[in-house]
Amino acid sequence: MNKRIGRHTVKIEKPVYIISAASYAGKKEGEGPLGKYFDFVAKDIMLGEKSWEKAESMFFKKAFETALQKAEKNFDDIDYLLAGDLLNQCGGSTFGLRDFKIPYFGIYGACSTFGEAISLGSMLIDGGFGKNILCGAGSHFCSAEKQFRSPLELGTQRPPTSTWTVTGSGAVVLSSEGSGPRVTYVTTGRIIDMGIKDSGNMGAAMAGAACDVIEAHFNETGRTPDYYDVIATGDLGDVGKALVKKYAGEAGIIFNNNLTDCGIEIFDNETQDTHCGGSGCACSAVTFSGYFYKKLLKKEIKNILLIPTGALMNTDISQQGETIPAIAHAVAIEAE
Amino acid sequence: METTEKKKKEYQQAVKVLSPNSHIIKNCIWAFFSGGTICLIGHILRRIFESLNYSEDKTALLVNLILIASSALLTGLGLYSKMGKKCGAGTVVPITGFANSMVSPSIEYKTQGFILGLGAKMFTVAGPVLVYGITTSVIVGIIHYFIMG
Amino acid sequence: MDILEYLRAFITGGTICVIGQILIDKTKLTSARILVLFVVSGCILGGLGIYKYIYDFGGAGATVPLTGFGYLLSKGVIEEVDKVGFLGAFTGGLKSAAGGVTIAVVFSLLAALIFKPKDKN
């Protein structure tokens, strides 16, 4: 059992390569700074479907199929499918992937789902339970607003601390053979609740969980932040990032300009009116699959600590006055 | 990350400091002028109908009809939410905002069918308004009865 | 035509909306809560006989905001109680609001039939 190197961290000893990655993004994301990196940018985020929920499923289908094609694999080659999203009962993934006929684990980690999928996929391969695993996550601005906030046409103001749910889906194929960046460490977060109630300030709700997993990762691996070219949280936005800097700093973890956030990378908050940045399952999924993965392949960066963050909010329980618990999962991914 | 009550308090304080505030002055100016304009339109309409010799009750109804119909149209065209982004309470508080709160979920939940989708969700905001508005009126009526009666 | 009368409508309506805006920004109340609060306040102020003065001053500036809807409810219920007695408390409010509510329901339905949901970009 020497794979477990700490309370939160496991070392992935056998090679787990990310042999392909695919990103399908919405129109607004395509107009953002990372637009040119995505495999596909939808002109109409309905994708020809009749409802936003169906459109979200279609994003899943397209992204996951593309990841398979890029890996030159068939459905039959894949041992497990790991996916999740924000909709009730993971509707986006279930309905998007129901025709795949691959043994499936539907997972939920809110916006941290992409990290959860890669973590579990890597552990399955290292454990010898599978050779090829397809995993990913996605979200859709419209279906998320509908489920968690208010109707799109309701004339409300978004608070300055709010973030914008990313439309799209990102998927990767993990394999025990092949080439590509390797997953080397998986640090699994705990549920952390800092007592934030404001659902218009998700970055603040999640930053505590991000700090917790960051502390755990560096303490247990013995690494320092300098080791990584990029340390990217999932969707903390400006407020969350500032909080991580402050509290990780207090714990002695000092970043040298390598700390970023997928939600900050994906939008230009000034011109795109996204307030604090992007959010949603798709935020870290498409930013990693589209942008960071390509940088790893080109060796522009040699490694990344990806930390998708999730607010484990339940709208009913929130209305009962509860605070917002959060989670974050860190995965170390290193170019060969 | 510690999660003691003391740490949580301190964290929540830090969140307050680090979170950008709403531009309250700017928002209030927008709300004042947009809300004022909608009311001014209402008042102009009222004077027009009065000059056409409609009774007070009919005038009030016709003004509401025009404002609500305009709000429904603007909501359907996706313009009311754009105005709402700038105007804030200026477009929430007038009767047009009430109409917007009924029209917007109706359109959005049409995909879930006419009964439990459109029909039920129409009242997500308007329902509570009616529940508490009507109840208050009943209380006002009863009190009025016992004091004045 | 009295230009001041229009100005008063503008200022009254604008001021009521500013109160709503301050509540939104300072207390993070959702617009649903704001609307409920305004209707209830309008109804209470109407019942206390205070809103009448705002109405006399502001005209449509007092009736178009949702406080005006509350005022209408209170006015209706008081008139009905005066007319038919105790049971009027249960009919007066909604009777006076019947037109407005019906118009809103019908136009919401019409709009939903005509328009499709679309994204916000």
CB atoms within 10 A of CB A122: 25
Residues in chain B within 8 Å Cβ distance of C103: 61, 64-65, 68-69
Give the closest residue to A165 by CA, choosing from A243, A111, A231, A241: A111
- Asked if residue B16 belongs to a domain, the reply is no
Q: Domain count of chain B?
A: 1
Place A1 in a pLDDT band, splitting at 50, 70 and 90. Answer: low
Of B37, B110, B129, the CB nearest to C112: B110
- Range(s) of the domain holding residue B99: 23-148
Query: Domain spans of chain C?
Result: 3-114
Residues A152, B91: C-beta atoms closer than 8 Å: no
Task: Give the residue-averaged pLDDT of A100-115.
Answer: 97
B8 inside domain: no
Taking 80 as the threshold, does the pLDDT of residue A301 lie above it? yes
HSE at residue C30, side-chain half, CA atoms within 13 A, is 15
Report if residue B1 sits inside a domain: no
Name every residue in B having a CB less than 8 A away from some CB of A: 1, 3, 8-9, 11-12, 14-15, 18-23, 27, 75-76, 78, 80-81, 83-85, 87-88, 91-92, 97, 100-101, 103-105, 107-109, 111, 125
B6 located within any domain? no
Structural domains in chain A, CATH included, are: 9-175 (3.40.47.40), 183-334 (3.40.47.40)
Residue B89 within any structural domain of the chain: yes
pLDDT in tens, A135-148: 999 999 999 999 99
Per-residue pLDDT band at C81 (split at 50, 70, 90):
very high
Q: Which pLDDT score is estimated for B56?
A: 92
Q: What is the helix (H) or strand (E) element at residue A261, kind and residue range?
A: strand A259-261
Quick check: C121 pLDDT over 60?
no
Q: Residue holding tokens 């009126």?
A: B137
Closest CA to C47 of C86, C18, C81, C14: C81
Distant-in-sequence, close-in-space partners of B128: CB < 8 Å, separation ≥ 6:
C32, C35, C36
Judge whether B11 lies within some domain.
no
Q: Please report the ipTM that was assigned to this predicted complex.
A: 0.94
Query: Using 50, 70 and 90 to split pLDDT, how confident is the model at B2?
Result: confident
Q: Is B59 on the interface with C (CB under 8 A)?
A: no
The closest of C45, C91, C96 to B141, measured between CA atoms, is C91
Nearest to C110 by CA among A156, A155, B110, A46: B110
Neighbours of A186 (CB within 10 A): 26
pTM above 0.80, yes or no: yes
In degrees and rounded to multiples of 5, residue B104 shows phi and psi of -65, -45
